[in-house]
Amino acid sequence: MLRAMMTVSGLTLVSRILGFLRDIMIARFVGTGPVADAFVAAFRFPNMFRRVFGEGAYNAAFVPLFGRKCEEHGSEAAVDFARNTFSALVWVVGGLTLIAIPCMHWIMMAVVPGFLPKFEKDLGGSGHKSAFYECRVDVKGAREIYFQITGKSEAAVRHWSARTRVEDMHLLDPEGKQRKLLVSLKNEGFPMVTSGQKEIASEGLILTQLGLSGDKHSGVGRDVDPRKRFFPRDGEEVLSVIFGMDPKGLARIELPPDHGMESFVVRVAIRAVDASAEIRESTLRIFRNHPENFDLTVALSRIMFCYLFFMALVAHLSGVLNTFRHFAVPAGAPILLNLVMLGSLGLIWFMRWEGDLQIGKSLAWGVALAGFLQFLVLWTACSRAGAAMLPRKPLWNPELKKLLFLMGPGVIAAGIQQVNLLVGGIIASFQQGAISTLYYADRVNQLPLGMIGIALGIVLLPEVTRRLRSGRASEAADSILRGMELAMLLTLPAAAAMVAVHEPLIQGLFAGEKFTAADVAKTGWALAGFALGLPGYVLIKVLQPAYFAREDTKRPMMMAGVAVAVNIACSLLFFHLLRPAGYGHVGIAIATAISAWVNVVLLWRGMDGFVTIARAEWKRLLRMALASLLMGGVVYLAGHALESWLSGMLWQRIVALALIVGTGITVYGVLALSLGATSVSALRSSLMAARGRGNS
């Protein structure tokens, strides 16, 4: 088991390193801005299916049935069953893809609801030459607020005359003093407001901040026509700002991370372009995310959704190869995704593309191409192994129906982490930049999860299945126990290190011109939140084969449902509590960790004594935890000592990260051996046993 796991882990490590390089380059190009949010949201949806299908869920249903076919009826009958299943996948997933692509607009409304307008008002039909509208906008944790007025003919804002260009204005406090609330404006605007003026004419917008202490004002600016003045109401203070609209009728207010505001009351005055015109067929929309984010997300999702089609087929081919103990090609296939995307980024750099649409579509087409290449490589490997998969008209026989019956619960159960991330993404879409921030943090968290948890799950399932089929239940339980011990030996120190040096890790990996210090801090805390659940994520991968090998997918599905409910409840609670400070996304990461541990407890209790932990093994577990905590303290000091290098040139960052990781591995290894958490003889015996099993 260990040798096979090392093969999978080694190739996964190569893929993760290339993935890190890919994400570092993406962070350099788009940071955590609107393009990043749109691409990550679009990529996450098909990528979730890749992880669910390709990293265990499909195999959870297919491998036990395929393995039993091999044991009871021989490889020829098993391959025929696999071909029939392959054909069914082509028809079902192909049809799903053809339906989903034109319906992507409505799908994304459910996946990223935060990209939709926070306020929308139809301004048409009044027949008036001017009109006034008011709404309250929640700005907790917001970076920017966008105002957009669309319409036909003279009612559109793009027809308003511009008398000056406003570059950098500031919101003013009630006493006329400048606040640290920068408004970035780089488009044609209204007449500039004089310093100290608290209100503006009806053609502009007044933003009133609620809940602050200070004097209330009833209006200033003697030169402004009183009929066009807005007056603050009880409990409000006036913060005036004047800004312009671009040719699309769009204006942006940029807020700093520490603005501390909870809501704005926005009063909008609309007028026709000339005395003979009327306001008609216009719409006011207010967004917390860039108005083009949603349309860009839909466009990129349509391109990348064909990736799902190829990943379903890749998962099937991987299951066939893994059952035949060919682990290398399935484990190495994801490397192609990272290589192709790096090529796409290189093309963007070479062509000097800067437009959001060009960058986003280049990355999206790279994902689609990578899916096809992965399928081609695995199809070739299966053909060489004597299991060529050619589509045909599927036979809906009892075996295929049983696979589909087992697959539904298995997908939900084995894909619990992805379901949690999807739920977190939906909630995160209501905080600007949170989706991409969570993505970068999860990418770092995925390195140990991929090397340890996914590798263990891939190797354990066929091994436990074979032992249970041959009546060796005690050996199957021992495989699960050894997997748990190995998982904790490796994930406890990884989790401790990511919590201890969460910010230095992100600083060294992603910091750049478009990935600011604020982005580093927010992503670092999200990483710490995810890391709290890292051992739990891996234990889920280890414990689930005990159910799947016995073709029990229903109970893990029910347990996963409980964990999802916990995740949703905790995400909503923590997001609400932390969003005013701009850290609502950290609450989502913590909620994901909590739900993982809930799932572990349910899986363990549900095995009803199939696997037992002796007292000596509990002691080793406590020693692993102690060694991890002590190592965490050491790498914390190392991270702070190397802080200047982590902010330096690329080679300095690489050296600093290597020193931190090397220090952590060395210190933990010494402590683990000294405290008796493991021993050289135990590791050697595990390796020899794994070699023996691999040669049997």
- Of 190, 122, 160, 151, nearest to 271 by C-alpha is 160
Strand-strand pairing, 263-271 and 282-287: unpaired
Q: pLDDT at position 500, please? A: 93
DSSP, collapsed to helix, strand or coil, labels residue 517 as helix
Among 184-193, 452-461, 552-561, 581-590, the least confident range: 184-193
Q: pLDDT at position 667, please? A: 93
pTM here is 0.64
Reply yes or no on whether the pLDDT at 218 is more than 50. Answer: no
Q: Is 695 exposed, middle or buried (0-12, 13-18, 19+ CB in 10 A)?
A: exposed
Looking at per-residue pLDDT, the higher value among 196 and 452 belongs to: 452
How far apart (Å, rounded) are the C-alpha atoms in residues 137 and 563?
A: 33
Over residues 255-267, the pLDDT tens digits come to 655 555 566 555 5
Q: pLDDT at position 443, please? A: 82
When computed from its CA atoms, the radius of gyration of the chain, rounded to whole angstroms, is 28
pLDDT band at 531; cut points 50, 70, 90 = very high
The domain limits of the chain are: 2-112+293-612, 119-287
Amino acid identity for residue 370 in this structure: A
Residue with tokens 């570092």: 24
Reply yes or no on whether the pLDDT at 340 is more than 80. Answer: yes
Q: Is 170 exposed, middle or buried (0-12, 13-18, 19+ CB in 10 A)?
A: middle
- What does the block give as tokens for 313? 């087929």
Cβ-defined contacts of 654-657 (< 8 Å, 24+): 654/508, 656/504, 656/508, 657/505, 657/508, 657/509
How far apart (Å, rounded) are the C-alpha atoms in residues 430 and 637?
A: 36
Looking at per-residue pLDDT, the higher value among 296 and 143 belongs to: 296
Q: pLDDT at position 153, please? A: 28
φ/ψ bin of 241: left (φ > 0), alpha (ψ from -120 to 50), beta (otherwise):
beta
C-alpha distance from residue 311 to each of 7, 143, 336, 359, 368 (Å): 21, 36, 13, 24, 10
Looking at per-residue pLDDT, the higher value among 682 and 541 belongs to: 541
Mean pLDDT value across the chain: 72
How far apart (Å, rounded) are the C-alpha atoms in residues 164 and 542?
A: 65
Over residues 156-166, the pLDDT tens digits come to 222 222 222 22
Reply yes or no on whether the pLDDT at 550 is more than 60. Answer: yes
Q: pLDDT at position 375, please? A: 92
Among 394-403, 437-446, 557-566, 633-642, the least confident range: 394-403
Reply yes or no on whether the pLDDT at 185 is more than 80. Answer: no
State the sign of the Cα–Cα–Cα–Cα dihedral 167, 173, 176, 179.
negative
**List of residues 6+ apart from 405 with CB closer than 8 A:** none
Over residues 268-293, the pLDDT tens digits come to 555 544 445 555 556 667 777 677 78
DSSP letters, 545-604, are: HHHHTTT--HHHHHHHHHHHHHHHHHHHHHHHHHGGGT-HHHHHHHHHHHHHHHHHHHHH
- What does the block give as tokens for 14? 């190569």
Looking at per-residue pLDDT, the higher value among 325 and 266 belongs to: 325
Q: pLDDT at position 258, please? A: 56
Q: Phi and psi at residue 171, in whole multiples of 5°? A: -65, 145
Quick one: what percent of the chain has pLDDT higher than 90?
13
Q: pLDDT at position 499, please? A: 94
Reply yes or no on whether the pLDDT at 411 is more than 70. Answer: no
Strands (E) located in 639-693: none
Reply yes or no on whether the pLDDT at 124 is more than 60. Answer: no
DSSP letters, 273-292, are: SSTT----SEEEEEESS-TH
Reply yes or no on whether the pLDDT at 8 is more than 90. Answer: no
Reply yes or no on whether the pLDDT at 236 is more than 50. Answer: no
Report the run of H or E that residue 534 belongs to, with start and end: helix 534-548
Over residues 19-51, the pLDDT tens digits come to 878 887 887 777 766 777 788 888 877 777 666
Reply yes or no on whether the pLDDT at 130 is more than 60. Answer: no
- Pair 227, 119: CB distance under 8 Å: no
Q: pLDDT at position 637, please? A: 94
Q: pLDDT at position 182, please? A: 28
Among 48-57, 340-349, 553-562, 565-574, the least confident range: 48-57
Mean pLDDT of 326-343: 85
Q: pLDDT at position 483, please? A: 81
Reply yes or no on whether the pLDDT at 127 is more than 60. Answer: no
Mean pLDDT of 646-674: 87
- What does the block give as tokens for 45? 């949806």
DSSP, collapsed to helix, strand or coil, labels residue 447 as helix
Over residues 86-122, the pLDDT tens digits come to 888 888 888 888 998 999 989 888 888 877 766 666 6
How far apart (Å, rounded) are the C-alpha atoms in residues 69 and 76?
A: 9
Amino acid identity for residue 605 in this structure: R
**List of residues 6+ apart from 669 with CB closer than 8 A:** none
pLDDT band at 252; cut points 50, 70, 90 = low
Q: pLDDT at position 460, please? A: 67
DSSP letters, 185-232, are: EEEEESPPPPTT-----TTSEEEEEES--S-------TTS-GGG---P
- Of 613, 646, 619, 461, nearest to 551 by C-alpha is 461
The DSSP letter of residue 413 is H
Over residues 622-634, the pLDDT tens digits come to 999 999 999 999 9
How far apart (Å, rounded) are the C-alpha atoms in residues 49 and 77?
A: 29
